[in-house]
Amino acid sequence: MRGPTNREIQLQKTCELYAYVLEAQGKEVAYAVQECADSYDYPIDCVKELAQALKDLDSESFEKIVNNTDLQEARDLANWWTMYESYIPVPKSEML
């Protein structure tokens, strides 16, 4: 029996964080996202959805959900967001 791949681990973690953001806003977590968050057996890629959810937060919600140092999920999410922002490609028009 093989263990989860690094990609499966990353996909699951992203789903966990996305579920946390949705729950923190009182929104429903889609079944597929919850399945991915609960198990390596059903990996889905929700990076774009998580990034968009964070971009859509107002500053007060962002502080409460992402910058809450009392919650491990928030600290993990803040780290994820920092990494995401570091690795997203910069459009060529902004490089000039």
Q: Are 17 and 80 in contact (CB under 8 A)?
A: yes
Q: Could you tell me the pLDDT band of residue 32, with boundaries at 50, 70 and 90?
A: very high
- Residue 66 in this model has a pLDDT that exceeds 60: yes
Q: Could you tell me the pLDDT band of residue 43, with boundaries at 50, 70 and 90?
A: confident
pLDDT at 94: 55
Backbone torsions φ then ψ of 90, nearest 5 degrees = -90, 125
pLDDT at 67: 93
Please write the tens of the pLDDT for every residue from 13-25. Answer: 999 999 999 999 9
pLDDT at 2: 76
Backbone torsions φ then ψ of 30, nearest 5 degrees = -60, 145
Instruction: Report pTM.
Output: 0.87
